[in-house]
Amino acid sequence: MQDFINNLPKLAKDKHNENKKFFAKLKKKPPKNLDYVMQELHKKEFKRTDCLECANCCKTTGPLFTDKDIDRVSKHFRMKSQQFISNYLEIDEDNDYVLQSVPCTFLGVDNYCSIYDVRPKACREFPHTDRKKFQQISNLTLKNVAICPAAFNIVEEMKNRIK
């Protein structure tokens, strides 16, 4: 797994043009059953990929924190939201709250998330491969395939399935 993760940026770079063309075509004419296909590919992939052996998303890119996330996580720590923000977060160029540093502070050495039950929505949904209207997040997916081995495999499988 680690070799695959280490090679992922290069593999994704090699596939970038092909993926870009594929998503441009998908956006123009998404198949009627795309949501169904994505659910199926997502389920199949995450049966064989164990996030606990990876955690590359938590190690290399942090989530953005919505106001609701901040409220929920600060409550978990019995901390005022403002205190949580000044301890852990900063504002990025898009004006979103993000972690001050990666790997994520809440990631354990065993790859477990110490705030798993209250983790940000973005963490729960990453890599978004089971979301509806998947064609609408193609730019994000083009980036995610360089970080997430599961997303990489899912996009490869999509290209086989959807001609």
State how far the Cα of 95 lies from the Cα of 78, in Å rounded to an integer.
Answer: 26
- Given candidates 41, 147, 154, 155, which one binds ligand SF4 under the rule CB under 6 A? 147
Is residue 126 involved in binding ligand SF4 (CB under 6 A)?
A: yes
Q: Is 116 exposed, middle or buried (0-12, 13-18, 19+ CB in 10 A)?
A: exposed
The CB-of-9 to ligand SF4 minimum distance in angstroms stands at 13
Cβ closer to ligand SF4: 15 or 119? 119
98 binds ligand SF4 (CB under 6 A): no
| Residue 149 within binding range of ligand SF4, rule CB under 6 A | yes
Q: Count CA within 13 A, CB hemisphere, residue 49.
A: 22
Task: Please report, for residues 17, 29, 69, 147, 151, the alpha-carbon distance to residue 118 in angstroms, rounded to integers and kept in the order given.
Answer: 37, 37, 8, 23, 23
Residue ranges that bind ligand SF4, judged by CB under 6 A: 49, 51, 54-58, 62-63, 104, 106-107, 113, 115, 119-120, 123, 126-127, 147-150
